[in-house]
Structure 1
Amino acid sequence: MSTHPSPPSPSPSSGVATTDGPSVRIGALAPLTRPGWTEAGHHLLAGLELAVREVNESGGIAGRPLELVVRDTAADPRKAVEAVDELAQLGVAALAGEYHSVVARAAATRADALGLPFLCSSAVLDALTERPTERIARLAPEQSRGWQVYADFLLGAGHSRIAVAAQPSVYWESGARILREHLAPRGGTVVELDMSALDPAALCDELVDSGATVLLLLVGHPEPAVSIVTSIRRDRRLTGITIGAPAGQPEFTEWATLLGDDGTAIPFLRYLPERLSPLGARVETALREQLAGAPSFVAFEGYDTIVVLADLLRSHGVDRARTAEPWSRTVEPWSRIGVEGTRGPIQFSRTPGISVWQWAKAPIQVVDRDPAEPDRFRILRTG
């Protein structure tokens, strides 16, 4: 069951529950309107809702139904903080979700200050909170790990001079720094092109002069990413250049719809194993029906988020006021998680340099859309 953004108070809207008693509420954050990546938000929510239905069909949490209370962040950190405050007042037992890293960081910081557990589904920014915390955990791989895999892919493909078209953002700046620091000792260089000062045509001119063999899109979706790709594909001077999108813009059907063949052969990061487990295959079938199309990796992240939180709530209790004290005494409930997710066994540990509990073995792929069959993804590297 779930509650969507418009009602002033939560009410069930989906799921066939075999449970009774007061519901256990989980606050869900997702970008469901622009300028957020709305397709990612809807896939995230689809995974969350499917898992909630299945939890309820199997008896809920100690006989009580699980309920999502959904709030739209619209990729706005301020809205996310306001949503966390509202959800805390509504008495949610935990928070889940969010796709955008800068938004998730704002939500995580506020949740930690309020003593509210938060399992971040998709955001990857290493510094999810400013200080180490026991209350926050993350399913997606940290940005430094994923983007280093991507950098190794570029080197292996013969690219040593890499240009990045970047917009001002903590997330994009972090990505550029990770690439620069990982590539430099291995003979690679990064040329940064500031998209706050360039339009796509001017970017093409700069790219020709840069000597780079690949351009990485560290920009928003659909714009200016779509316009940049279109301009490069139409510029005869740049026929041989590779376009890359480590943040994953080509994962979503909107990308293929807007760009067609121009959107193929653009490598990006996604977080799926080479083969789904039997659970993952079953969930993929259910998500495909729910979404009327192929689920993205973000939908699997949403499903796994509820699997983890259900295990946490069953073992640690659903009364946040009662559980806050054990949490502060470093009982470390995240370390006790051991569940089977759609993409493999999930356990959390402390990763050096990461302030939150991290699923250290989250799968990583570099993939692209096949030019011969744009709806098919080719796996180019795993890590």
Structure 2
Amino acid sequence: MTTAFCLVSALFAAGCSKNEPLRIGYVGTLTGRHADLGTAGRDGAIFAVEDINRRGGIKGRPVELVIRDDRDDPETAKGAVRKLAREGVAAIVGPMTSTMAVAAVPVVNDSHVVMVGPTITSNDLSGKDDNFLRVYPTSHATARHLAHHARRRGIGKIAVLYDLSNRAHTEGWYRHFREEFEREGGRVVAALPFDSSRPVGFLALARQALAARPDGVFLLSGGLDAAMLCQQLRKLGVALPVIATEWSATDELILHGGSAVEGITYYQYYDRSDGSPRFAEFREAFSRRFGTPPEFGAVYAYDATQVVLQGLAAAASPSKLKEAILARGRFSGIQGEFTIDRFGDADRKPILMTVTEDGFKKME
């Protein structure tokens, strides 16, 4: 049993001061090219912690969120998790990208701290009985939906551009999409990797993609890079249907892409146009707190933090947190119910979205 685990167990014990804060960690990319997602996740986690503290905390104890920046670097992510474990956090929310999660999960397993990922899709982490749980489905199921959608749009030949800076997300996504797309009779005519952590020639990439004469383009990247690629496609005077993943669907996409990103379609599990009373209340309160509406990363981080908090409220001690979460299995998220199976993998119903001049819109 590690020192950190003993510390957490001790803090949870009945002999602890009722006012002793219960600490949970958050790890996400707060600096660098993908900071939009990490910052959104941080705000969602903060909002959940502030909400539980307004309600009296957990078993009469306030909750403290300890925030760490992984800097979009695997070694930094590992170090952040180790430090949080040494500091005795009861659980960790994060990371926000699959590459950071793949790096961090072995450290989490060694530390005996439960980690709940808000937006992790990598299939490399699925079907495993370990200390990593998630509130977001794997890429395999979503890739199947997107491949079918691409064929329905009349795309027979497609060029795929994917960012290796988040390799654990993009390579698995591309592999599953290609399998389903080809099963439907389509063909990948160009597969072009790039690394956004280094200088990228977006115009050259766009030219390479178009040289293969595709019927459509599939972008596996963050919002900023997807915007840059669409801008270059527009400069080359080509109007092809573009599909993407939810990773691209941040405000950075619209801010930097403008009219060039209009018409992009993608599947996600977050509905910005949700008119339900619960989400309307959440959106209004979140906007007042942070000065901006919640992006999908904030919603999923809020859900992930709630899973941790509800598990800690039900568990007799941190050593039983994972069992408490899995025993419950079904959770009520900000936008409907989702389930977590015995391996910690989540299931939700996907939504087809598009980008219009008014922003992100639901298609079906």
Per the normalisation by structure 1, the TM-score is 0.82
2:141 to 123, 145, 152: 145
Q: Which amino acid aligns with 1:341?
A: G
Displacement after TM superposition at 1:84 (Å): 0.8
Matched, 1:88 2:90: no
Aligned to 2:8: none
Deviations 1:181-217 (A, max 9, x none): 1111210111333244983333343333323111112
Mark the CA change 1:337 to 1:21 in structure 2 (over 3 Å): closer, same or farther: farther
| 2:56 is the alignment partner of 1:59 | yes
* Alpha-carbon distance, 1:276 to partner: 5.6
1:314 aligns with 2:300: no
Judged with a 3 Å threshold, the aligned counterparts in structure 2 of structure 1 residues 309 and 167 are, in CA distance, closer, same or farther, namely closer
Partner residue in 2 for 1:267:
265
Specify which structure has the higher proportion of helix.
2
Amino acid paired to 2:253: W
| Secondary structure at 1:25 match in 2 | strand
- 1:323-374 deviation line (CA, Å, top 9, x unaligned): 48xx6xxx57423244322021233114xxxxx41222x2322312213x2x
Counterparts of 2:47 and 2:65, CA distance in 1: 11
Give the counterpart letter for 1:263 in structure 2: V
Using the TM superposition, give the Cα deviation of residue 303 of structure 1 relative to its aligned residue in structure 2, in angstroms: 1.2
Aligned to 2:355: 369
8 Å CA contact 2:102, 2:168 repeated in 1: no
Corresponding residue for 1:202? 204
After superposition, what is the alpha-carbon deviation per residue over 1:74-110, rounded to whole angstroms, capped at 9, x for unaligned?
2111111101110011100111122111101222221
The one-letter code matched in structure 2 to 1:148 is R
Question: Which residue in 2 is equivalent to 1:121?
Answer: 118
**Following TM superposition, by how much is the alpha carbon of 1:220 offset from its aligned partner in structure 2, in angstroms?**
4.7
Q: How many equivalent residue pairs? A: 341
Which residue of structure 2 lines up, in the alignment, with residue 23 of structure 1? 21
Instruction: Work out whether residues 220 and 247 of structure 2, in 8 Å CA contact, stay in contact via their aligned partners in 1.
Output: no
5+ residue gaps in structure 2? 1-16
The DSSP-based 3-state class of the residue aligned with 1:145 is: helix
Q: In 1, are the aligned partners of 2:221 and 2:247 still within 8 Å (CA)?
A: no
Alignment of 1:176-191 (within 5 A): 176-191=174-189
Opposite residue 203 of structure 2, the aligned amino acid is A
Secondary structure of the structure 1 residue equivalent to 2:224: coil
Structure 1 position 152, deviation (Å): 1.5
Q: How does 1:215-364 map to 2 (within 5 A)?
A: 215-223=217-225, 225-236=226-237, 238-239=238-239, 241-249=240-248, 251-273=249-271, 275=274, 277-320=276-319, 323=320, 331=323, 333-350=325-342, 356-360=343-347, 362-364=348-350
Matched AA of 2:45? L
Partner secondary structure for residue 367 of structure 1: strand
- 1:272-323 Cα offsets, whole Å, 9 max, x none, are 2574643322111111222322211111111111221111101113444xx4
Q: How far apart, CA to CA, are the structure 1 residues paired with 2:222 and 2:274?
A: 30
Q: Is the 8 A contact 1:265 1:370 kept in 2?
A: yes
TM-score scaled to structure 2, two decimals? 0.86
Q: Tell me, yes or no, if the aligned pair for 1:120 and 1:137 is still in contact at 8 Å.
A: yes
Contact 2:267–2:350 (CA<8 Å) still a contact in 1? yes
Identity of paired residues, percent?
24
Q: Distance in 1 between matches of 2:256 and 2:123?
A: 31
User: Which runs of 5 or more structure 1 residues have no equivalent in the other structure?
Assistant: 1-18, 351-355
Letter in 2 for 1:100: T
2:307·2:325 contact (CA, 8 Å) conserved in 1? no
